[in-house]
Chain A
């Protein structure tokens, strides 16, 4: 009887620990830190066009249309890997608005990059000081966000997008 009294709290503790560990570790990849902005409203931003300083894009301009936001730079090698995929996305989903943010780059380098590799974006905004990236919680380039019609971030991907990611993770949301 005494043993049962002693062992019961231990067993309860063990069960609590197992449940907590399972809950904490379920579906979490330590290499992918969680995104705080997922399922939240897109942060407010304002950016000028890479090609025309008079052209400005604001948060309000992307509400009511599905938008794919991609942070890129000419100095970012992984960005080059995913770049051709944005042409495919643009062709397959013409109603999807492709917004590129050129991050901490010079205008001339960015223009040359888009001239050489092509420009798949509907609008290229300038984020030279990195403040827009900071609002989006960007850690490193490239990063891609999918925004729904209500202006909520429904998907975020860190690193270069691959065909598998496009087919398995992005396309089901489009």
Chain B
């Protein structure tokens, strides 16, 4: 009887330990994801600060909403889309890959091609 009681207590202890460890891990994970995502978001009321680094009321609201959405199971992409719909692309530090930004993203490659073209011409002229 005593042994039975001991096992019951032991089981409860182990289960509680597993539950709290999992809960702490999950919360920690969410906080890490909030940090990662809010570092990519611009504080609209500050000068060149990320939402994560800022303590402005606007930033604190966004941090809250990001955490809430992550806890609801929304993906980072969904959250970014939600914020861009309301605050515009300006809220993102890294511009989206879309047709509007095609020139922005392709410009370094255009420069590279032009640079290579120059190098080729120069080499050819030197050889001649």
Tell me if B39 counts as interface (CB < 8 A to partner A): no
Chain A residue numbers with a CB within 8 Å of B57 are 140
B43 → A minimal CB distance (Å): 9
Contacts across chains A and B counted by CB atoms under 8 Å? 45
Taking the closest CB of chain A, its distance from the CB of B81, in whole angstroms, is: 11
Residue of chain B at shortest CB distance from A2: B125
Query: Are A139 and B44 closer than 8 Å at their CB atoms?
Result: yes
Q: How far is the CA of A10 from the CA of B58 in the complex (A)?
A: 44
Could you list 20 further interchain pairs (A-B, Cβ under 8 angstroms) beyond the known A6-B121, A134-B86, A135-B86? A6-B118, A9-B114, A9-B118, A13-B111, A20-B103, A33-B87, A33-B90, A34-B90, A35-B88, A36-B84, A36-B85, A36-B86, A36-B88, A36-B89, A37-B86, A130-B61, A134-B65, A139-B58, A139-B87, A140-B45
Question: In the assembled complex, how far is the CB of residue A132 from the closest CB belonging to chain B, in whole angstroms?
Answer: 11
Contact A34 B88 (CB under 8 A): yes
Assuming the contacts A5-B121, A6-B121, A33-B44, asked whether A137 and B87 have C-beta atoms less than 8 A apart, the reply is yes
Contacts of A5 in B (CB 8 A): 121
B25 contacts partner chain A, Cβ-Cβ < 8 Å: no
List the 5 shortest-distance A-B pairs measured between CB atoms, nearest first: A36-B88, A137-B86, A139-B44, A33-B90, A137-B87
The answer to whether B88 and A33 have CB atoms under 8 Å apart is yes
A86 interfacial by beta-carbon distance below 8 Å: no
Interface residue? A136 (CB, 8 A) = yes
Chain B residue numbers with a CB within 8 Å of A10 are 114
Decide if B17 is an interface residue (CB 8 Å cutoff).
no
Per-residue CB contact flags for chain B residues 103-114 toward chain A (1 = under 8 Å, else 0) read 100000011001
Cα–Cα, bound, A137→B65 (Å) = 13
Distance of A23 from chain B, by nearest CB (Å): 10
